[in-house]
Amino acid sequence: MWTDAILAYLHFVAIFALIWFLAKEWTLLKAGADKLDLRRLALADLGFGISAGAVVLAGLSRLLWGAKPWAFYAHNPVFHAKIALLVIVGLISIAPTRAFLRWRKSAAADTGFRIATSEWQRIKRIVLLEMHMLGLIPLLAVLMARGIGYRG
């Protein structure tokens, strides 16, 4: 019972960190294309990536050593939808990460570098999409935890 509680706690902490770092990216992006703090944006994105890894590791740990058996997860389409949504968010997050790295490299090479407003707006929309999609994952987790969708 202690193991499951500790793993659940670690999973929640990682999820909260993931959300915090993504919200930080959104807040920094709201400053505008010409006022971006690229260093802080890159650090927030790094934190997002690290916390995403922690979410996955903690989730896998819960699968392997948690209170519910593998069959509970394997036979639940809600669980599969939750994982699919997390994978989609992960794939979508590649575009902002690449943009942040490119922007930092360009700014370091050219002090007159300016981010195109259209690209900044596109990246800002992608981060907002990530936030909305992440917001659906707790709903799926609540449904899953109550056995909704379980076919075992």
**How high is the pLDDT of residue 71?**
87
Instruction: Give the model's pLDDT for residue 33.
Output: 95
Reply yes or no on whether the pLDDT at 152 is more than 80. Answer: no
- HSE-up of residue 71 (Cα within 13 Å, Cβ side): 2
Whole-number average pLDDT of the chain: 95
Is residue 11 pLDDT above 80, yes or no? yes
**Segments in the chain forming alpha helices (H):** 2-29, 38-65, 70-74, 77-92, 94-109, 117-145
pTM above 0.85, yes or no: yes
- Of 19, 144, 13, residue with least CA distance to 83: 144
- Of 53-57, 137-141, 148-152, least confident by mean pLDDT is 148-152
pLDDT at 149 over 90: no
What percent of the chain has a predicted confidence (pLDDT) above 90? Answer: 88
